[in-house]
Amino acid sequence: MKKLNIFILLISLAPFTCIKSQNYSAPGVSEQHPIKEKFNEKGKNSSGIAYGWSAVSGYIISVPIPEGQPITLVQPWSPQYTPTAMVDNINEYIIDDGYNYWLYQPNNGNMYNLGTITGLGEEHPNGLAIDFNNLYTTYIITDENLYRFIYWTNPMTVELVGSFGIPGSKMIDIAIDCCSNAYTYDINSDQSYKIDLSTGQATLLGSIGFDANEGQGMSFDENSGQIFLSAFNNSTQTAQLRTLNTETGLTTLIVDWGIEHIDAFAIEGFCDYGNCKVGDKFEYGLCDWDITNDGGNCIWEIRHMFSNYYQLSETNASGFLLAADADQCGTGSSMFTTATMKFPLSAGQTCYYLSFDHDWKTMDSNDEAHVEVSTDGGATWETIVSWIGINRRNSSEYFDITNLVYGKTFLIRFRVVQPGWDWWWVIDNFCITECIPVEFTSFTATVDSSDVILNWSTATELNSKGFEILRSTQIDYNNWKKIGLVSGFGTTTEMHNYSFTDKSLQSGKYQYRLKQIDLDGSFQYSQTIKAIVEAPTKFKLAQNYPNPFNPSTSIKYAISSRQFVSLKVYDVLGNEVATLVNEIKKPGYYEVNFNASNLASGVYFYRLASGSFVSTRKMLLLK
């Protein structure tokens, strides 16, 4: 059951130059190296991309998952310190041995230094992972300890969670699945462990089955539900892609990369279930459900959708299901069992909907399927819907539960009664959604010199008056100022795209958020995004705009160091007709307005002089 958390971070700094991607086979790796193809225990066709940093080539690389080859050289990167760990969260986040925290954007190849992680003392960061079910808490492991931080903490200071309790260990990376189960392994003992994220305590799983050395990475693949290792095998002196059995701790070789060394490694994708406030596709077990036996000898469990003759559309359902299958339980079975949400949901003063796909097959009138809700912690239950003695095959359900849960904290449960060796009730795509006046689908910031361009999209709008654009600066991130207003589309179910440009900013760090206002005056805030306007690296005089003009035009210029600046306007005979700037300026981007209402039509020149820099441009006044 996954809570929807939208986390968008778009920061613009001086990016690395990208080069064209190219494929290569790692030295010593032939096309005949074995790839284990049918390993996916989740029963799904996994399809993803992993990124990493190759110590051999000095490149950011990518590989398809689960195949593991070919390795693609994406772009060169030569940081001062060795990258030790990487994690995916829309973009890739990397930590290096110098405690620098990096953001890599695969879509455009930009690489940004976000700052320095503090609080580790003399310990070195070996692993990095995000728990998407816990406010996007980021975990860092060192040889013997577990640390955590939330990125928006300023500065990025980690706090100690606790020791693994394994003296002399060298835990090399960490992976966290969609149920907040965390795993690591020790390259000194070649043992794998499960980590308690609340205490740091490590519990032994077993041997990883190979002699591990430095340069290890691990990452959870949301598509397949498996943990992959970018390992280095000390016995073969080769890099390898492996999967981890989270029950036994043993790893399985997927592909041998040969003479390679991938230090940081992360698979694209994160634990999320669309627009659901709470959702579960049941791909990762029963970690968010309490299962009770109400008197039978069989209970709710996780089964694959092809483990019986269930009637569920493969378009909607896939992989694993929540199943109360009396047929599979066998002769003499009975099924009296309940599956209850483990974590209650607090409803606001808005509307709520429950949806799921299911197949309910009955034997006779004694078979009962109930969907129920409780608003008092499970003490009493109210029926949402029941099917008694009637089939509900291959069905997608959608219920308005607003009147039952409005303003309350609630639980949902599925209760089934099958007195004998009957058929089944299987469920997939459990989802609780809430109504919001405006459904944002994206909110991004792009920096263009001294301008920050904000773009956002909405999927639906309800009585939307418009959007106030709010900005705060690094001087006081809590002091929000209104810088603009964009009108909304009232009520619409069509997607709409919006844009606003915050112009002529000085260098520095900025935060933006939207205040969406309804026609009745109520409002909600969007998530916050960040942007960084870098100081100019060179002097520049831009072409005026508009050009031709009448009677006013705007002139932009950039100053890279503190200098005396002169900006003057001349006619075609060289006569000075206006002085626009004549003072000392700090480094930054500037814009000045030139009003020529008292001048005749014609060609004019404007000249910027600052230190040894001189630049002249032409403009045309047409009246």
Quick one: pLDDT at residue 310?
93
Contact by Cβ (8 Å): 518, 488: no
Q: Give the pLDDT confidence of 24-73 residue by residue, as tens digits.
A: 333 333 222 222 222 233 333 345 899 999 999 999 999 999 999 999 99
Q: 3-state DSSP call for residue 526? A: coil
Average of pLDDT values for 9-18?
Answer: 31
What's the rounded Cα separation, in Å, for the pair 157 and 141? 14
What's the rounded Cα separation, in Å, for the pair 304 and 44? 10
Cis upstream peptide for 64 (omega within 30°):
no
Quick one: pLDDT at residue 152?
56
What's the rounded Cα separation, in Å, for the pair 249 and 263? 21
In this structure, what token pair is assigned to residue 506?
């000085």
What's the rounded Cα separation, in Å, for the pair 27 and 24? 9
| Domains of the chain, each with CATH number or no CATH | 21-267 (2.120.10.80), 278-434 (2.60.120.200), 438-533 (2.60.40.10), 540-621 (2.60.40.1930)
Q: Give the pLDDT confidence of 78-97 residue by residue, as tens digits.
A: 888 888 888 876 678 899 99
Please state which of the ranges 100-114, 117-131, 574-588 shows the lowest mean pLDDT. Answer: 100-114
Quick one: pLDDT at residue 5?
31
Query: What are the CA-CA distances from residue 531 to residues 99, 113, 367, 452, 509 (Å)?
Result: 22, 13, 58, 7, 6
Average of pLDDT values for 399-424?
Answer: 93
Q: Give the pLDDT confidence of 426-440 residue by residue, as tens digits.
A: 999 999 987 766 778
Average of pLDDT values for 214-232?
Answer: 87
Flag whether pLDDT at 522 surpasses 70. yes
In this structure, what token pair is assigned to residue 282?
């049941």
Flag whether pLDDT at 209 surpasses 90. yes
Flag whether pLDDT at 287 surpasses 50. yes
Contact by Cβ (8 Å): 303, 251: no
Give every CB contact of residue 573 below 8 A, 6+ residues apart in sequence: none
Quick one: pLDDT at residue 147?
96
Sign of CA pseudo-dihedral 564, 569, 572, 573: negative
Contact by Cβ (8 Å): 178, 163: no
Average of pLDDT values for 558-570?
Answer: 93
In this structure, what token pair is assigned to residue 285?
């077990």
Quick one: pLDDT at residue 89?
67
Quick one: pLDDT at residue 295?
93
Name the average pLDDT for the chain.
86
